[in-house]
Structure 1
């Protein structure tokens, strides 16, 4: 534990690979309901996700680690500034995959050298169900919003796993402490929870703005608000955050140049500027077109007619995804007559059917 804390981890517990006997039917039911949306890899890797031994038959123990990334301020404040971008807390600093994996490798190396066991490390990039395993290890419990909640740290936790062939003493699992609270369910802007402890990714703002590659359902766009990458609402309202502290890992701290950026600036990014601005962050992996799509939805939700110019400048964008959302934003920001005149002047020349559909 001392070595783990020195590396920046705030919680370390151990569980067994057989600790989740009910995971397979739970995962199968979730996939059968279609809650994974377009994340086809969830189906393709279901067998390995459901049982750590299917991923690595030799595993005997699983060390689960948590690293706090608590924000310095309430993320809901950013959501209220409608003409500026709200970016999920976890994405405002260095990519946590890179930061945590290096630390996990160092810790796993020490574990291997001490006991001679084989080890493998995972940080959200392999078919490992980190949250159920963390609950089984006693790091916390999966709340009604399906995110891990810790009584000591709240729900701002990055999770990592070390699989090892060593037989280690296991810790007791954590029990559920949500009680009758449903703040996380009620605050969701797109009603993504069909029931407590069940997330329908197809309606989740984080899924829509990060994972979903195509056009976003018009019925869900207004709920996205100004959230251009991810959503922290359900995490931010959890009452267990009263015990949370700001994260202590400097590399994961929010970059000042990413906080509170004007939507008009972000809408103007070309691919090179996008890559330069978001270098080293998780946002870069989404790509410029999807990100600007999100920004234009935020512009359409801003209620600020002054942002119509930023949307108009994207009408000739090379990406149909971007052009379509520019039209959607202008429909919401311009007076009806002005939009009708613009449609008459431009819609006939639009070759993409999705963009043409936005023009009406």
Structure 2
């Protein structure tokens, strides 16, 4: 429960009749409300500005400025205009009731007071005020979320349309020229076409996954997961891409190496990290190894030319969208930010460790599943 929900509502009672004032004061204190009092309009305005009560019970017929004028001034004041005003009146004619609503009142209670009516009216108006405050706080967030969502899908359409158009052009050229190409040229073209298609699919998956993990309702399904089986699936997926670049991949992962994480998210992270290392490899051999420490599993992929500084400049969600939108291709920082976000949701982390001047290892860290 929030502090605002625990806080007792404060009610300002304004009446120049001490007997009426005292009746309401004792009754509301018994019901657990905090109270402020004033016996004229000028004092009521000052008390409202300083105390900012949740509700004002305002008598109409008072010496000096009456309740109608007091309410008008309260509603013109930026600090007090949001405070609901319930009029207290012995006037039962419709004209006065309408005037009360016109100057900003939300309800009225007739004298002599019926305690049930008073309590019901107060509770209703305080509830409405709280709901209005919550809605006011939520509206900017809804607006920002909607704007970010619209921009996100706009980026998807733009990036993917361009990527698929390039694939279409490449495929069309290949189909037209295939009869004039030698076998070695066809092989090179085939590998290039496959790499472009794999890159496009990978980017589409990443952009969609970024949208999912930004959703506040996104749920992680943690389970005991065998990293050996997962790594074998990832290696199979990227075998052809690695071969097209004359890269071999070795590993020392043993069966029953367990982590506690979401299987789909862990698979996506490992796919992304291996893809990055293949694209930025510094040798013809990539090695995947595992270490255990402090009830965590460290999965290292090496060697790569990626710098540890990349992780220090990822920025927030808006920065990431800006980065995607302003680059011709999907930037490395976006892929790393997605991996980092997914690992964090699984109580893990992402590291890039420099091994020497040119080489580095990229590492995903997850809770051990033993």
Question: Larger relative contact order (C-alpha < 8 A, sep ≥ 6)?
Answer: 1
Asked if Structure 1 and Structure 2 have the same fold, meaning a TM-score greater than 0.5 normalized by the shorter chain, the answer is no
> TM-score scaled by structure 2?
0.22
Higher strand share: 2
> TM-score scaled by structure 1?
0.23
